Structure 1
Amino acid sequence: MGLSIVSLTICIAFSQKYFACKDLGDKIRFVNKICCTHTTIPTVLRLAYSSSLGSDLASQCLAYSVIDKEKLDIAHKLLTLGCASDVTSGRLKLAAFYLIQDNFVMAEHVLHRIHENYTYLVSHCRSTPTEEALFKILENNLSAAEFVRQYVAFPVLYFQSEIHCMPQALILNMFVSSRPRLLNHGPSQCVYVDPQFFLHYLEYQCYFRQGRTSHKMAALDNMLWVVYYTNLEYRDSAFSLLACCLMQEEMYINAWKVLCKSMRLQNENNAAMWQIAFLIKYAFRFLRMRQ
């Protein structure tokens, strides 16, 4: 079972590179092809890429001033199907889609579901499963695919084709960051976010736009705790999103500290440098308004 999960993660890493450089038609044919094989790896791939297909299609719809309602409904169905890929990544993409549509009720419902099911037994599912994870498999007599669906939190992955369905701060990271880890383990034009942090970020955005002050500040506190006290894999993405939230709260000094911390950790090919420039502009505008 342990070897099966490792093989699964290696297969996903290689297929991501293939998936990123194809157009939507090729992606659909790729997903249809893996649907024909009823084994563990194709099953998980089909569900994982349903989310990417839905987000890709939704991004194409949102790129135009007149939205194709029929295509957007298909995108929603694909995103819903992709929720079964793992504990978090598919559901987080669906919640982000609802936020873009200003459907706060459904976004909050999806985020609550993630909280109820959230476990982190295999960090990113990119390493050898822990003893605790293998014990869960044996205890519950689970298949590899079912174990991934119930107990694994994949990082959230956005391709360049999904640009209209992702936070603006991540767009900067996608084009600026060129770390060897991304080039070796995933397509170059993409961005990853740790699922635990992205969950709190989406909660903040949902509560911020609803004007629920106490809830949004709790989500902001959770983001700060995750960034500074947990072992994140993609810290620069987290710092970029956190700085944007602090700027939304007009907490410019705090945002400055966060971005400087990001630059100390990675001083080259870091989108934080661009965000610092934006922060200076916002700060001067804020000072002029106060005078």
Structure 2
Amino acid sequence: MFQAPEYIESVSVKLSEVLSDIGVDEKMVLKRRRAALLAESMDTRATQLHDGDATTYIFGSQSEGTTTPQLNSDSDQLSCFNNINVIQDSSDWKPGVINYLIIQDDTVSPGYCLLQRLRDDTPFPSHTVPNKHFSERKGKVLLKNTIISAVAVAAAVHEEGRRHGPAQTFTEQPGNADEDYVYAFPCKSWPLQGRKWLDWQGVGQWPSADMRRYCGSTGCFLVPVGSKGSEHEELEWRISASLAERCLMFSLNITQIRCYVLMKIILKTFIKPYFEDTISSFMCKTVMFHCIANTLSNIWKENNILGCLSLCLFVLHTCIFNENCPHFIIPENNLMKGNITHTDKPYILQKLCDVVTGRFIALLRIKSDCLGFRLQLKMSNLILFITSDIVSAHILSSLALYIDNITKSCLTSINNSSNEEAVQTLLKYIFKLADISNQCEEVDRTACCLLAPRFCTSLGTALASRSIHLDNAVSAEALTWISLGLNTDVSSGKLKLASIYYCTGDTRRTEMTLRNIERHYDRNTVEPICRCHDYIKLPPRIGFCAISNDQNEEAIQHITAFCVKFLPYEIKCVPHELQYEMFKSTKADLAFRPPRDYWIKWAMVDSLPYLYFLQYKTYRRLRREDDKKRALSNLLKTTDQEPNLGHRETALNLLGQCMEQEDRATDALCCYLISLNLRERYNVAI
């Protein structure tokens, strides 16, 4: 049925070129992987800063580099609790931590296990059921997998989420992928069901002995979900080999990666619209693993991608026909169990056949990433628009947003702190990151370097606020700490410094600092970065895309402008017009208090509007009328025309106050009304 005709080679070459054009090439794959590894490292460091003992991993298509802009693949984030000791032998029991013993017997579904509670003082089973999260079965006290849902609620990572297998899924703003958050327990050794794989090697000498040795050292995770329809579904824990699977994915060549991406695009185009929850991308990945392991490596070439795709779809067809897709590492675990109804099965099989038969004409009907249209043009030797710049821009801006999110989560913990308490906590953060950086390797060290300077800026501003309160001057210590964080991005750290100078009345230094920021803020390349509120962002500017394509995370300091955040303990560094933002809550707002309410007491403003606002105030003090008018005009234009502002209502409120100072009351009122239209609650425009 799935024969490879003579046209395979010519079409394969063109199809490979199309996939490269939409960002599925070696460079983009490495960019995606590096960004994901940095993100997971930063998240882990943030947990350590809060004295937590958990490790974050980011799995799935985003971290593998196996996605395209319009596949909009999920981001799978796993948080592993390191203070849990899951063992398979009582000799591995540890004092001072919570110990569970893995139970695998004939009653447990393949690929799953039970967790038996052990005593805290000795390596013997506990016979006491401590709370509702445990259940007794055949004399064993077993942990229910529902305990993780309670942990997720307590963690309150996001305000809204839906359960999806072992994950809590949180829907992001339009245009961004959903995020799946999984909480798991670590198991340092492989359960019996997975050990056979460690000694097995396929026809194509893949996975290699080194890869299997590495996979054996990583252990596995136990995630909180039971087998569908199992008698003990609430007690079962799924064995996850995500780290081993990552190792396998990282070993693939670009043709294998493109083949997997094609499978997902075909799934999205021809299967999911009609049979949404039947075939998953993980099943496609598993099928591809089986194909690679059971074929010689020399078939996986760019000029044979259609042949490789045909093979993978044939194996997938066989799995669906037999209603059995064996897990690659634990083959007894059937991934398709209970997924496909007898009614749907013939239609799904027919759709797969339709793709492969007819000289792959079905590929021309694929609208995702304009793949079909691009392939048609490519076959006619026409020049196409290459999207690698846009993909690079998305990767870089996503990493920048992740940095912003991590920084905010750490600062939130000192939201209600006094100035002295905030200083001590920020010092702890900085010294802890320095210690971690000295003990870790390249990616983790880079992650620390991306976070630490931001806390240096916050510490410097906190110290400056205290010294301004006491002496109306900025201490040398404050300036030293601020200087360490000035170059995190184009503007936010420097704007805090300018704000400090302005609040001490040092107009000369204020003006010099602002002029320096404006000189380096190239509006053709610099992109505003803000994740404080959800808003629909327009595509990044061309200059930002071009530089993102040439550089990695180091570009963040040259072409991004984070929003400027002031916490209550920094209030003396904030002009009075912006201080109002710290008191935006009214009695009427209390009934609509959002779950993530840290920002209610913060003053936050986008960099570019704040630059022009401070210029307006500075030139007003200096009585430089022309410069003052230019600054006000720029503030008005930016507030009205800059597409990607996260705090447009704040910019309008600052503009309104400038209009009041210009005796333009009607214009001021107009600014406040537009601001209220953008954000009805928690808005000082009221």
Whole-Å separation in 2 of the counterparts to 1:228 and 1:43: 35
Aligned equivalent of 1:147, options 542, 555, 570: 555
* Aligned mate of 2:547, from 108, 115, 136: 136
Change (3 A) 1:26 1:87: same
Rounded Cα–Cα distance in structure 2 between residues aligned with 1:230 and 1:204: 18
The reply on whether 1:250 has 2:663 as its aligned counterpart is: yes
Aligned equivalent of 2:457:
51
- Separation in 2, partners of 1:95, 1:271: 24
Report which structure shows greater RCO (CA 8 Å, sep ≥6): 1
Distance 1:253 1:134, change over 3 A: closer
- Secondary structure in 1 matching 2:635: helix
Provide the secondary structure at the position in 2 that maps to 1:85.
Answer: coil
Q: Is contact 1:182–1:188 with CA below 8 Å preserved after alignment?
A: no
Q: CA deviation at 1:197?
A: 0.5
Q: 1:99 is matched with which residue? A: 502
User: Quick one: which amino acid aligns to residue 32 of structure 1?
Assistant: F
For the 8 Å contact 1:13–1:186, the answer to whether it is kept is no
More divergent stretch after superposition (114-123 vs 172-181): 172-181
Alignment of 1:35 with 2:434, yes or no, is: yes
* Paired residue type of 1:156: V
Unaligned regions of 5+ residues in structure 2, if any? 1-30, 39-398, 438-444, 532-536
Whether 1:157 and 2:570 are equivalent positions in the alignment is no
Aligned in 2, Cα 1:185/1:149: closer, same or farther, shift over 3 Å?
A: farther
The amino acid that maps onto 2:615 is E
Deviations 1:189-227 (A, max 9, x none): 312101110110111111010000010011001111111
**Distance in 2 between the 1:117 and 1:103 partners?**
22
> Which moved further from structure 2: 158-167 or 32-41?
32-41
**Gap change, CA 1:7 and 1:101, over 3 Å in 2:** closer
Alignment of 1:141-290 (within 5 A): 142-144=551-553, 146-177=554-585, 184=596, 187-231=599-643, 232-273=645-686
Counterparts of 1:183 and 1:176, CA distance in 2:
16
Q: 1:176 to 1:256 in 2, by over 3 A?
A: same
Cα displacement (A) at 1:181: 11
Number of aligned residues: 267
Instruction: State the distance in 1 between where 2:505 and 2:477 align.
Output: 18
Q: Measure the CA separation in 2 of the matches of 1:135 and 1:263.
A: 36
Point out the structure with max Rg over C-alpha. 2
Change (3 A) 1:217 1:181: farther
Displacement of 1:94 in angstroms is 0.7
- Alpha-carbon distance between aligned partners in 2 of 1:221 and 1:164, rounded to the nearest angstrom: 27
- TM-superposition CA deviations, 1:57-104 (whole Å, max 9, x none): 11112223x45x6x7111122222221111110000111111122222
Taking a change above 3 Å as real, the CA distance of residues 133 and 221 of structure 1, as seen in their structure-2 partners, is closer
Shift of 1:29: 1.2
Tell me what 2:213 maps to: none
Query: What is the CA–CA distance in structure 2 between the aligned matches of 1:185 and 1:269, rounded to whole Å?
Result: 10
Letter matched to residue 204 of structure 1: Y
Match of 2:219 in 1: none
User: Residue 124 of structure 1 is aligned with which of 526, 529, 534?
Assistant: 529
Measured at CA, do residues 175 and 90 of structure 1 come closer, stay the same or move farther in structure 2, by a change above 3 Å?
same
Contact residue 207 and residue 215 of structure 1 kept, 8 A: yes
Q: 1:219 to 1:121 in 2, by over 3 A?
A: closer
Change (3 A) 1:124 1:184: farther
Aligned to 1:20: 415
Alignment TM-score, normalising by the size of structure 1: 0.81
Distance 1:197 1:248 in 2: 17
Q: State the shift of 1:12 in Å.
A: 2.5
Structure 2 length-normalised TM: 0.36
Q: 1:36/1:167 Cα in 2 relative to 1: closer, same or farther (>3 Å)?
A: same
The 3 A distance-change label for structure 1 pair 204 and 183 is: farther
Answering whether residue 422 of structure 2 is matched by residue 11 of structure 1, we say no
Q: 1:8 to 1:212 in 2, by over 3 A?
A: same
Q: Is the 8 A contact 1:12 1:45 kept in 2?
A: yes
Tell me the residue number matched to 1:276: none
Distance between the aligned counterparts of 2:408 and 2:566, measured in 1?
A: 14
Stretches of structure 1 that go unaligned for 5 or more consecutive residues are 274-291
Give 1 or 2: higher helix fraction.
1
Q: Secondary structure at the match of 2:413?
A: helix
